[in-house]
């Protein structure tokens, strides 16, 4: 019960939306305030405290400062709490040596006061940390130099009694707290950096093919590569413009998401590379960036599954969605373009002709070129179709995939 209360007290001012580093700073300040408050309250139990008004003033001021820290933290004024506590710490530490005696051992509190600001303030307030730290160091040097002070524990004990041991013990505890939280903040920062690195790595792997993603992550040059034999698939939603105008943006997004999520899963199953989507079109490649002999067969199988996946998907008006798919095989160039938003893309006649196969295809069918036909004919039933006009070329005989051949 007592430990839970102490934990709740130490976490005063910590909120769920706070970063772990900021939360550690809040807990550290609360820990210092708790130690200072308890130590000062104990000082009120010592009769000699009341013999000097200056000492009594410092004890009461420290208790008030510790209490104000928890009040300010609870209201979210973390910066004000830190500055007020550091200022009170300097005041309480310097008043007894200056007005009573330098042999009271208070100057040792300047050590944690010099170190604490660097952990309490954020990187935006390093100037404040430097001011407090410099004041603490300068004050210690000035007092020791002017009073010709030496570390004489016996003389301190004659003056302070048992507090000659208690004061250094409190200082040691405060320094231990500083060391602990310094390491904790460092570890937290390291974990956050590692988490961000893993998120970035995962994002790169989601955007790019695995082999290309590894080169990007390792900062290896990712020049465009020519692939001698690969296959490209274009899939388009038939009458996409009409479907787009039927409903609102949310309905269009629902339709595309319903299809493209299924297509993404199919690409993973067939071990092919999703290149990109643009509007109602979905571009896939096989044989890049890693070569594979069955690249045309993989895309033929994918095309049949894509048509099945579209069954049951309807537009806002209830019209069933139908796909046009085109496939071509041959040499192409593939590579990463961009610096801030990386994209893996394809270029070449093979890509252009694959798109022509889709554009001139019929809804519900997969149209392929003679080269792709020659690679899959032994496994897939294909029906010849009329010649298709391909820009810059003579009319091309094409084929439509009807299904798999019986095994």
**Could you read off the pLDDT of 295-325 as tens digits, one per residue?**
999 999 999 999 999 998 887 778 889 999 9
Asked if residue 223 has pLDDT above 70, the reply is: no
pLDDT tens-digit profile of 9-48? 888 998 888 877 788 888 888 888 888 888 888 878 877 7
Q: What is the pLDDT of residue 309?
A: 93
The verdict on residue 302 lying in a domain is yes
The verdict on residue 47 lying in a domain is yes
Q: Are residues 197 and 229 in the same domain?
A: no
What is the average pLDDT score of the chain?
81
Rounded to whole angstroms, what are the CA distances from 256 to 236, 260, 278, 285, 404?
A: 11, 6, 11, 20, 28
Question: In this structure, what CATH number is given to the domain that contains residue 306?
Answer: 3.30.70.1230
Compute the distance between CA of residue 65 and CA of residue 32 in angstroms, rounded to an integer. 11
Q: Are residues 194 and 231 in the same domain?
A: no
Q: Which residues contact 404 (CB under 8 A, 6 or more apart)?
A: 301, 304, 379, 380, 381
Q: What is the pLDDT of residue 170?
A: 62
Q: Name the burial class of residue 259, with classes exposed (0-12), middle (13-18) and buried (19+) by CB atoms within 10 angstroms of its CB.
A: buried
Q: Are residues 75 and 142 in the same domain?
A: yes
Compute the distance between CA of residue 283 and CA of residue 260 in angstroms, rounded to an integer. 11
Across 107-119, b (16+ Cβ under 10 Å) vs e yields bbbbbbbbbbbeb
Q: Are residues 141 and 263 in the same domain?
A: no
Chain center to CA of 136: 38
Q: What is the pLDDT of residue 296?
A: 96
pLDDT tens-digit profile of 362-393? 999 999 999 999 999 999 999 998 777 776 67
Compute the distance between CA of residue 333 and CA of residue 44 in angstroms, rounded to an integer. 82
In terms of Cα–Cα distance, which of 42, 193, 171 is closest to 116?
Answer: 171
Listing DSSP states for 213-242 in one string gives HHHHHTT-----EEEEEEEEEEEEETTHHH
| Interhelix angle 163-207/153-160, nearest 10 degrees | 110
Domain count, the chain: 2
The verdict on residue 209 lying in a domain is no
pLDDT tens-digit profile of 57-85? 888 988 998 999 999 999 999 888 888 88
Q: Are residues 188 and 248 in the same domain?
A: no
The verdict on residue 210 lying in a domain is no
Q: Are residues 140 and 239 in the same domain?
A: no
pLDDT over 90 percentage in the chain = 30
Listing DSSP states for 147-158 in one string gives HT----HHHHHH
Domain range for residue 373?
A: 222-404
In terms of Cα–Cα distance, which of 58, 171, 43, 163 is closest to 103?
Answer: 163
Asked if residue 279 has pLDDT above 70, the reply is: yes
The verdict on residue 189 lying in a domain is yes
pTM: 0.55
3 state SS for 55-115: HHHHHHHHHHHHHHHHHHHHCCCHHHHHHHHHHHHHHHHHHHHHHCCHHHCHHHHHHHHHH
Asked if residue 150 has pLDDT above 60, the reply is: no
Compute the distance between CA of residue 355 and CA of residue 326 in angstroms, rounded to an integer. 6
Q: What is the pLDDT of residue 349?
A: 92
First-to-last alpha carbon distance for the chain, in angstroms, is 72
Residues β-bridged to residue 332: 227
Q: What is the pLDDT of residue 52?
A: 75
The verdict on residue 215 lying in a domain is no
pLDDT tens-digit profile of 177-192? 666 566 666 666 666 7
The verdict on residue 212 lying in a domain is no
Chain center to CA of 236: 35
Q: Are residues 188 and 56 in the same domain?
A: yes
Q: Are residues 14 and 47 in the same domain?
A: yes
Count of residues making up the chain: 407
pLDDT over 70 percentage in the chain = 78
> Ramachandran region of residue 248, left (φ > 0), alpha (ψ -120 to 50) or beta?
beta
The verdict on residue 328 lying in a domain is yes
Asked if residue 278 has pLDDT above 70, the reply is: yes
In terms of Cα–Cα distance, which of 43, 14, 42 is closest to 28?
Answer: 14
Q: Are residues 176 and 238 in the same domain?
A: no
Q: Are residues 176 and 250 in the same domain?
A: no
Q: Which of the two residues, 22 and 328, has the higher pLDDT score?
A: 328
> What phi, psi does 325 have (nearest 5°)?
-125, 135
Give residue 350's pLDDT band: very low, low, confident or very high (50, 70, 90): very high
Q: Are residues 152 and 255 in the same domain?
A: no
| Diameter of the chain measured on Cα atoms | 111
DSSP strand pairing (225-237 vs 343-347): unpaired
Q: Are residues 260 and 198 in the same domain?
A: no
């Amino acid at each position: 019960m007592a430990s839970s209360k102490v934990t709740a007290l130490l976490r005063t001012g910590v909120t769920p939306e706070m970063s772990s580093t900021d939360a550690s700073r809040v807990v550290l300040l609360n820990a210092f305030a708790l130690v200072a408050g308890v130590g000062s309250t104990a000082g009120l139990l010592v009769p000699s405290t009341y013999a000097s008004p200056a000492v009594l003033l410092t004890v009461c001021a420290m208790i008030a400062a510790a209490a104000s820290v928890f009040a300010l933290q609870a209201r979210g004024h973390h910066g004000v709490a830190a500055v007020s506590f550091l200022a009170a710490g300097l005041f309480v530490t310097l008043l007894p040596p200056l007005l009573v005696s330098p042999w009271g051992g208070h100057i040792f509190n300047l050590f944690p006061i010099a170190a604490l600001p660097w952990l309490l303030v954020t990187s935006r307030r390093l100037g404040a940390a430097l001011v407090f730290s410099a004041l603490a160091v300068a004050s210690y040097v000035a007092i020791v130099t002017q009073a010709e002070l030496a570390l004489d524990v016996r003389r301190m004990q004659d003056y302070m009694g048992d507090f000659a041991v208690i004061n250094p013990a409190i200082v040691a505890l405060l320094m231990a707290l500083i060391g602990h939280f310094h390491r904790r903040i460092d570890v937290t920062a390291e974990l956050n950096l590692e988490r961000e690195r893993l998120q970035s790595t995962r994002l790169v792997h989601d955007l790019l093919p695995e082999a290309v993603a590894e080169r990007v992550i390792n900062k290896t040059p990712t020049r465009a590569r020519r692939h001698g034999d690969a296959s490209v698939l274009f899939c388009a939603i038939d009458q996409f413009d009409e479907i787009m105008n039927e409903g609102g943006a949310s309905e269009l997004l629902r339709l595309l998401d319903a299809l493209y999520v299924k297509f993404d899963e199919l690409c993973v199953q067939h071990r092919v590379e999703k290149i990109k989507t643009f509007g109602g079109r979905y571009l896939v490649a096989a044989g890049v960036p890693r070569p594979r002999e069955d690249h045309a067969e993989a895309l033929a199988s994918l095309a049949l599954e894509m048509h099945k996946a579209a069954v049951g998907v309807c537009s806002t008006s209830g019209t069933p969605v139908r796909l046009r798919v085109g496939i071509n095989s041959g040499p192409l160039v593939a590579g990463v373009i961009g610096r801030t938003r990386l994209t893996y893309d394809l270029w070449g006649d093979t890509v252009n002709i694959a798109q022509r196969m889709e554009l001139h295809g019929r809804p519900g069918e997969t149209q392929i070129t003679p080269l792709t036909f020659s690679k899959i004919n032994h496994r897939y039933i294909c029906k010849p179709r009329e010649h298709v006009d391909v820009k810059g070329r003579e009319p091309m005989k094409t084929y439509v995939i009807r299904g798999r051949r019986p095994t």
